[in-house]
Structure 1
Amino acid sequence: MTHPWFVAGDTPRVLAHRGLVTPDDAADGVVENSFAAVAAAHAAGASYVESDCHLTADGVVVLFHDSDLKRVTGDPRTLAEVTERELADLMGDRGGLITLAQALEAFPTLRFNIDVKVDAAARRAGEIIGPYADRVLVTSFSDARRRTALAAASTTGGTPATSGGRGTIVRTLAAVRLGQRALADRVLRSVDALQVPQRQGPVTVLTRGLIEAAHRNGVEVHVWTINEADDMRRLVAFGVDGIVTDRADVAFGVLGA
């Protein structure tokens, strides 16, 4: 059965990477994973927003990618060292802080793709996601962290969709390259999507074999992070089901989503 997360629209899906920050917005000081960035993606017509989450010093799950604040705010502290209030002050003129709970409540028509960045956030993020499980896909580089979040979600609501972590992707790639169809099918049975880069260093990750194995098991393939129109067209023609992009506005024009 298809998870409800996938019923918001047809493929190719456009996943607004950390919301949407246009060049004009950036000139005004708006940053990724801010309330304004999520609102801009929604206003542009996005059905899906990809974001990341961390845990603050006072236990609040916030949308933020980096483990520290330096790149986004210039503050050298880590997310784990600041409170929600301190982070809200820092983000006040950068588009505004948005917590995971606020994102799910304030944008009831959006589907969220949540990447759990640290072990400390996994359980609490899952508990928050549970009541909104129909419109959340949970992922993480760590399969263990991803499973912790999924288990926690099931205790407060339902089971979100999920995308395989690094271990799942590596095992799938190995099975495909070795021609081990049964093994690939077994690995893919536990996920709804694979979200991958085109390459990882010298290794080509996105292959026709990977896409074929995923589709054989009803698993979608989403590729990140694609910002050029020609690349979007090429990858959709190659067979991917979704494009994760910083420029959702461009993707809508290119793909007609």
Structure 2
Amino acid sequence: MPRLRAPIFLAGLAALAPLVVAGPAAADRERRVWAGVQIIAHRGASAYAPENTLAAFRLAGQMRADLIELDVRQTKDGHLVVVHDRTLTRTTDVKRRFPKLKPWRVRDLTLKQIKKLDAGSWFARRYKGERVPTLAEALRTIKAARAKALVELKNPEEYPGLTRRLVAQLEDDPYWTSYERLTVQSFSWRYVKAVNDALPAVRGTVLGRPDSAELFGVRWYAEAVHPSKQSVTAQYVRDAHQRWLEIYAYTINDEDTMLRLLEYGVDGITTDRPDLLWDLRQG
């Protein structure tokens, strides 16, 4: 049977009946609808701390994010680490530390080598010494923050065994395979399905914008779709909800766009500024 979990009901109602702001009653209605919208901290609170670091995850927890999003890749020796880019050049000092390892791809370095890198100084001096975390370290930090985790598999086809290692790690900690505390997402949808096949209790999200026909197939192994902010329309939100899929949108850091998407009835917003969305959600 398909995984037909209903999206957040209040957000769904917003999609079916757009709000018209007309006095206190309408304002109260808005607040009730928006209260159910998930705050998704993009690579942690990455507007304020270096992305995909424990510092960014802790700060996102302090800002009361519902989900903390992070990116996973695999090292040369088969460890899962939290890095967005294929290479380590943008967010670490890898060029200075290992000048002979060009092009400095994550898959070409061992965990021991990656752990020697400074992943904070590029952002601000006070974050000097922040390290690239392993997935296990990141999940422990998110668990301590009492948030949920949204794990993105980055280019999983480039990392043999990544899905198997992820599943094994999650199986070792039942905390993440119960009560929908963890969601796996990817632009490579078949890997989302592979995780779902192995761990049905882990939520699935497909990145991108499946068309109306594809939405029917997606709902067999995922609970949500996660398109870019530019591609989200009120009609698309309705289409997703009619197929019992939640809909998130990325990456939104300005109030006007957040308000527009909230009015469309999205179920979650991915942002570098979880504090801004918290304030809007509170009304």
TM-score norm. by structure 1 comes to 0.79
- Relative to 1, partners in 2 of residues 1:81 and 1:186: Cα closer, same or farther, differing over 3 Å? closer
**Residue 13 (structure 1) shift:** 0.8
Whether 1:49 and 2:68 are equivalent positions in the alignment is yes
1:92-149 C-alpha deviation (Å, 9 max, x unpaired): 6353322111222333222111110123222212222343123111111011222233
1:198 paired residue number:
229
1:85 paired residue number:
112
Moved more, 221-230 or 189-198: 189-198
Q: Which runs of 5+ in 1 are unaligned?
A: 4-8, 26-30, 176-182, 200-204
Contact 1:113 1:138 in 2 (8 A): yes
Greater RCO (CA < 8 Å, at least 6 residues apart): 2
Q: Which runs of 5+ in 2 are unaligned?
A: 7-33, 95-102, 120-127
1:245 paired residue number:
271
2:133 paired residue number:
98
Q: Distance in 2 between matches of 1:187 and 1:95?
A: 38
Aligned residue among 163, 167, 175 for 1:122: 163
- Relative to 1, partners in 2 of residues 1:187 and 1:150: Cα closer, same or farther, differing over 3 Å? closer
1:166-195 C-alpha deviation (Å, 9 max, x unpaired): 5xx43xx253xxxxxxx7445434320010
Q: Distance in 2 between matches of 1:137 and 1:160?
A: 6
Q: Percent identity?
A: 27
1:232 is paired with a residue whose SS is: helix
1:62-98 C-alpha deviation (Å, 9 max, x unpaired): 1111111111114340001112222122136353322
Alpha carbon RMSD of aligned pairs, Å? 2.5
Q: Distance in 2 between matches of 1:91 and 1:145?
A: 31
| Rg larger for | 2
Q: How many residues get paired?
A: 227
Q: Distance in 2 between matches of 1:49 and 1:40?
A: 10
1:207 paired residue number:
233
- Relative to 1, partners in 2 of residues 1:102 and 1:250: Cα closer, same or farther, differing over 3 Å? same
Aligned residue among 40, 62, 65 for 1:15: 40
- Relative to 1, partners in 2 of residues 1:10 and 1:192: Cα closer, same or farther, differing over 3 Å? farther
Contact 2:40 2:68 in 1 (8 A): yes
- Relative to 1, partners in 2 of residues 1:83 and 1:228: Cα closer, same or farther, differing over 3 Å? same
1:133 paired residue number:
177
